[in-house]
Amino acid sequence: MYWSPDCVEGVVMAINGQFPGPTIRARAGDTLHIELTNKLHTEGVVIHWHGITQKGTPWADGTASISQCVINPGETFVYRFQVDRAGTYFYHGHYGMQRSAGLYGSLIVDVAKGEKEPFHYDGEFDLLLSDWWHSSVHEQGVGLYSKPFRWPGEPKSLLINGRGQYNCSLAAHYSTSSSTSQCKLTGAEQCAPQVLRVLPNKTYRIRVASTTALSALNLAIGNHKMVVVEADGNYIQPFEVDDMDIYSGESYSVLLTTNQAPSNNYWVSVSVRGREPHTPQGLAILNYLPTKASKLPESPPPVAPLWNNYTYSKLFTSKIVALMGSRQPPPTYYRRIVLLNTQNYIKGYTKWAINNISLTLPSTPYLGSIKYGLNGAFDQTSPPDDYPMDYDVMAQAPNQNAIYESGVYMLKLNGTVDVILQNSNALEKNKSEIHPWHLHGHDFWVLGYGEGKFTAKDDRSFNFKNPPLRNTAVIFPYGWTALRFVADNPGVWAFHCHIEPHLHMGMGVVFAEGVHLVGKIPSEALTCGLTAKMFLDNNNH
């Protein structure tokens, strides 16, 4: 539908007439029953429930070509699954680049009745962060698949709960530059800033999730400190910050105490990190009642750390450790998979590859083809567990040829798997990018981060004392990140860079475990490719 997320009208993908989609709230242990009807006239759709492990319901993960067929125009698909753990989650499209088009919303799971959170608060807010372009996702997708490659560019605006401002600023009056004009908004516009109404001397829980297509962000609240208490649905040892980095796919809860002068309002700001920013800050208002929301804060919005100050980002990341008493990782692994992230050319097309393979998804969802033994549905060669040791991760992409494949890492059920994410130089000289990797169906322990090329001796630096459980972890430029998880969830699960264009360009892998134990898959999930043919043949017999 037409909408003006940043005061410029464009087309958004909406749910029930809302952008962002409606917030879904549940309690831990609840079963959600969600009927998704596709009212898009010309394309399929699926929705992924980001951070929900889908134990026992792998067909409800909402990943096109992996857990299900896309839902065709006019069709309804029922997602029915249990939310087993309290936390801050969200949902989004997982087909083509529909997340970039605005197909997302919040999913909040409260503690089960009778349970208590390990921290106290008087009220709460949800902030869903995203980035926004003025070109359609179809146009962006064509550019990514073109030769020569056409990059969609940096976002035009940053959105907080679907609201941002383009070509004008709420904070222009602090600036000496004449290039930006002051936004003249009444508060009723679709792009009017989100207002967080608070009372003085209270504690508020602010749930923050990032569903950006590209941008790493930094969040700050003017004159206020934040205490970080939750990451990706897991409690962490609380620590205090002036501002915090948040990468695409991550979620946090912070506690904020309203201890500033109640006669003023304060900025909530998000700024771009990890890429040279060409996008203005996204702004919302922390409004101390009874002060009017229209009263602008007295000082300019907080200034973010320099975009490429990775030391600052690494320091923040290192402070995230599990709450005392949290589940510990198994002491050993049965299999270690080292995943080298490279940018490559394939026949002149710009792609991302993992161990020299650029992922292409098959027309039959893996969940169906593996369960029913349809071997022709995807490449049967297992992708490599490592990359050649003589590869120089610091040099300008020495190997610029990769291949397209759709193979799967078959994991032993209940086996402990280590994944080492290894970053490298991209095609451009002296350039290595940040990549936030998200795992479906599991949480993993983040055992450590390091610089340069990972070697076996880096095991000695791992944190086994209090590693945090996460579902999304970042690899820093020219660095590595070590993860450990238990493959205890029968199904087929994506593991991929959460930057939308990067996934689109092949930056992902697929894990499968215990698929023979998966119960009866709803036939609506498999009405495409070879599984559709199988159902047809069975019915004909």
CATH code for the domain of 159 = 2.60.40.420
For residue 138, is it within any domain? yes
Asked if 175 and 255 sit in the same domain, the reply is: yes
Asked if 283 and 343 sit in the same domain, the reply is: no
Asked if 350 and 279 sit in the same domain, the reply is: no
Asked if 475 and 457 count as a contact pair (C-beta separation under 8 A), the reply is: no
Q: What pLDDT, on the 0 to 100 scale, is given for residue 534?
A: 83
Asked if 296 and 286 count as a contact pair (C-beta separation under 8 A), the reply is: no
- Going by C-alpha positions, the residue among 394, 397, 407 that lies closest to residue 342 is 397
Number of domains in the chain: 2
For residue 7, is it within any domain? no
> What is residue 383's three-state secondary structure?
coil
> What is residue 81's three-state secondary structure?
strand
Half-sphere exposure of 11 toward its Cβ, with a 13 Å CA cutoff?
A: 7
Taking the C-alpha atoms of residue 224 and residue 202, their distance in angstroms, rounded to an integer, is 13
Q: What pLDDT, on the 0 to 100 scale, is given for residue 5?
A: 98
Strand pairing of 226-231 and 234-241?
antiparallel
Q: What pLDDT, on the 0 to 100 scale, is given for residue 375?
A: 84
**What six digits make up the tokens of 481?**
């990140």
DSSP for 237-279 reads EEEEESEEEE-TT-EEEEEEE--S-TTSEEEEEEEEESS---S
- Going by C-alpha positions, the residue among 532, 522, 527, 523 that lies closest to residue 80 is 522
Place of tokens 């990890």: 274
Alpha helices in 474-528 (DSSP H): 500-504
Asked if 282 and 187 sit in the same domain, the reply is: yes
- Going by C-alpha positions, the residue among 506, 494, 473, 87 that lies closest to residue 247 is 473
Strand pairing of 24-27 and 104-110?
parallel
Strand pairing of 104-110 and 87-93?
antiparallel
Asked if 339 and 199 sit in the same domain, the reply is: no
Alpha helices in 62-123 (DSSP H): none
Place of tokens 């060409």: 278
Task: State the residue range of the domain holding 341.
Answer: 335-534
Q: What is the CA radius of gyration of the chain?
A: 23
Question: What is the mean pLDDT of each successive set of 10 residues along the chain, which is 541 residues long?
Answer: 97 97 98 98 97 98 97 97 97 96 98 95 98 96 94 96 94 76 90 97 98 98 98 98 98 98 97 93 97 94 94 97 95 97 93 97 96 94 94 81 95 98 94 97 98 96 97 98 98 98 97 96 93 77 54
Asked if 348 and 257 sit in the same domain, the reply is: no
Strand pairing of 282-288 and 195-198?
parallel
Asked if 300 and 343 sit in the same domain, the reply is: no
Asked if 301 and 353 sit in the same domain, the reply is: no
Q: What pLDDT, on the 0 to 100 scale, is given for residue 412?
A: 98
Asked if 483 and 445 count as a contact pair (C-beta separation under 8 A), the reply is: yes
The torsion region of residue 423 among left (phi > 0), alpha (psi -120 to 50) and beta comes to beta
Q: Which of 253, 287, 319 is the last residue of a domain?
A: 319
Taking the C-alpha atoms of residue 431 and residue 419, their distance in angstroms, rounded to an integer, is 23
> What is residue 44's three-state secondary structure?
coil
For residue 162, is it within any domain? yes
In what helix (H) or strand (E) does residue 317 lie, and over which residues does it extend?
helix 310-318
**What six digits make up the tokens of 86?**
């309290």
Place of tokens 């991550």: 250
Asked if 313 and 437 sit in the same domain, the reply is: no
- Going by C-alpha positions, the residue among 274, 278, 275, 232 that lies closest to residue 252 is 232
Taking the C-alpha atoms of residue 292 and residue 417, their distance in angstroms, rounded to an integer, is 54
For residue 253, is it within any domain? yes
For residue 208, is it within any domain? yes
Q: Which of 319, 345, 364 is the last residue of a domain?
A: 319
The torsion region of residue 234 among left (phi > 0), alpha (psi -120 to 50) and beta comes to beta
Q: What pLDDT, on the 0 to 100 scale, is given for residue 396?
A: 83
For residue 59, is it within any domain? no
Place of tokens 């909408």: 3
Instruction: Indicate the burial class of 119 (C-beta count within 10 angstroms; 0-12, 13-18, 19 or more).
Output: middle
Q: Which of 319, 343, 369 is the last residue of a domain?
A: 319
Q: What pLDDT, on the 0 to 100 scale, is given for residue 103?
A: 98
For residue 83, is it within any domain? no
Asked if 301 and 201 sit in the same domain, the reply is: yes
- What is the value of pTM for the model shown? 0.97
Q: What pLDDT, on the 0 to 100 scale, is given for residue 329?
A: 97
Asked if 302 and 438 sit in the same domain, the reply is: no
Taking the C-alpha atoms of residue 485 and residue 326, their distance in angstroms, rounded to an integer, is 15
For residue 271, is it within any domain? yes
Asked if 401 and 345 count as a contact pair (C-beta separation under 8 A), the reply is: yes
Number of Cβ within 10 Å of residue 11's Cβ equals 13
Taking the C-alpha atoms of residue 1 and residue 18, their distance in angstroms, rounded to an integer, is 9
Asked if 355 and 266 sit in the same domain, the reply is: no
